[in-house]
Structure 1
Amino acid sequence: STNRRAISLWRKMGFEVVGTLPGAFRHPTHGYVDAFVMYQAL
């Protein structure tokens, strides 16, 4: 959830956030951060 550039890129490619896993990843600087579940219909 902290990588705004990557999220923006995936959204531009047609993906959408369909879920969030709270505190799923321990970032060395930001502590525990959320992970997004993204989806794009084929």
Structure 2
Amino acid sequence: MGYALHFGYQECMMMQISEFLEYAHLAKEILEKTHGVK
């Protein structure tokens, strides 16, 4: 039971991390467009 809970927690963290990385990538693209940085 504890193992399943831990695995679910890890999976949730991985999803949050991947979503954060996607968001960071989008933010970087927006910054590059607005500031004209190559």
Q: Tell me the TM-score normalized by structure 1.
A: 0.29
Larger relative strand fraction: 1
Q: Tell me the TM-score normalized by structure 2.
A: 0.31
